[in-house]
Amino acid sequence: MIKKILKSLGHALLLIVLHLFYFNLNWSVPLEYEMMMAMNKIESYMGGAGKFDESKCLFINTAYDETVIQSETEYGDEGTTIITDRELLAEFFEKMAAFGNQHQYILCDVLFDKPTENDSALAASFSKVKKIITPVAYSDHEKEIKKPLFNVKHAQADYITYEGLVSKIRLYAKESNTKTLPLVMFEDHHTIQTTVTKMGLFYKNSYIPGSIYPRYFFNREAIFQYEIRLKTIVDILKSGDTTRYNDLIKDKLIVIGNFTTDIHYTPLGSMPGSLILFNTYLTLEAKYHLLGWGWFVFALICFCILCYIEFVNKKERPAVTDRNWRTLLWHLLGVTGWCLVISLLSGLIYRVHITIIPVILYLEVFRHIRKIKLPHIKFTK
């Protein structure tokens, strides 16, 4: 019996290693992602973590406040580019500072990579506004991050897609050796520090995967009634009405971005890029990214039980092995069902879903390896 348990425990440890490798991949198979989204909905219905109030956030749409500038194209000649109206942004930040920067945090999803004639005012306003972060892009050609034109906190932000669908979001970018925007924003907002090692990311006694599945707490429809145009909010702040400021901005998480045309595709439908970044940040707020010792022990016990059933119990009971396609079908449904239950419990208790597809593939491959009969080879002198 001890030998059988040790065998199951060995396979369970291999499954843990497989999960850590899979968690750090920048992609996932579509079926796995669909299962993850379905379980997220079930988990939310059953009272899972991560309840955020839309009224505690302010969404500022820049889609209708843009300007056209002359800029160099990727072909080396002159062309035009549409950018967010920087004069309006400068006014907004100036007024925020005048009211004492009483917001929680600002995610300003605007790239400041092209210079204009009116940048001095924005540069000055950035020095006054507090608790803000902006995205930057990584240049594959220059092999470095293209820093913003202004002195403002920034971090790399991009979306890993699979066949046009946003998949996992990276928390650490290996090509630039930097933490990405959602993680940097989370650290800056809470004044904490995540440690980067060769083994990965760590915070206190918890392991953090290099990429995560974002939970989509807010979609385009959910924020529509809380969304406001950039020019409108600037006009309100110009009035100096403290009551309106307190109602609209004080103690709010503020997201600035183009919610109209900067659209990406997710398993839940089309969504603005700013919301994808913000939802990823909220996923960290809900602590879905932390793999603590409790989860490792839970996963190890569950994997050990599954491996014992598959590699020991079914070997000793030939009646439950796949002798025909019907038995095989019921067997696969049973394994999938148990994996779903374990993954759901893991999400509810530890806020980390156990990935299903790798577990099923591992169990089936190793269960059938023992059935392969190698040809007998006789060696002669």
Q: What angle do CA 65, 70, 73 make, to 5 degrees?
A: 110
The one-letter amino acid code at 222 reads A
For residues 187 and 194, the answer to whether their CB atoms sit within 8 Å is yes
Q: State how far the Cα of 230 lies from the Cα of 222, in Å rounded to an integer.
A: 19
Nearest to 57 by CA among 122, 113, 7, 107: 107
Contact 298, 6 (CB under 8 A): no
The answer to whether the CB of 356 falls within 8 A of the CB of 35 is yes
Tally of residues, the chain: 381
Structure confidence by residue, pLDDT tens digits, 362-373: 888 877 665 544
In angstroms, how far is the first alpha carbon of the chain from the final one?
A: 43
DSSP state of 291: B
β partners of residue 80: 70
Q: Write down the domain spans for the chain.
A: 2-47+291-369, 54-285
Q: Which has the closest alpha carbon to 255: 235, 286, 277? A: 277
Question: What's the rounded mean pLDDT across residues 257-280?
Answer: 90
pTM of the model: 0.86
CA distance 380 to 79: 78
Region of residue 71 (left: phi > 0; alpha: psi -120 to 50; beta: else): beta
For 304-344, the pLDDT digits (tens) are 999 888 887 766 555 555 556 677 777 778 888 888 888 88
Percentage of the chain beyond pLDDT 90 is 46
Question: What does the pLDDT read at residue 76?
Answer: 67
pLDDT (0 to 100) of residue 275? 94
Q: Which of 142, 136, 150, 148 is nearest to 179 (CA)?
A: 136
Q: How many CB atoms lie within 10 A of CB 163?
A: 8
- Per-residue pLDDT, averaged over 5-34, amounts to 82
For the segment 226-241, what is each residue's pLDDT rounded down to a tens digit? Answer: 899 999 999 999 999 9
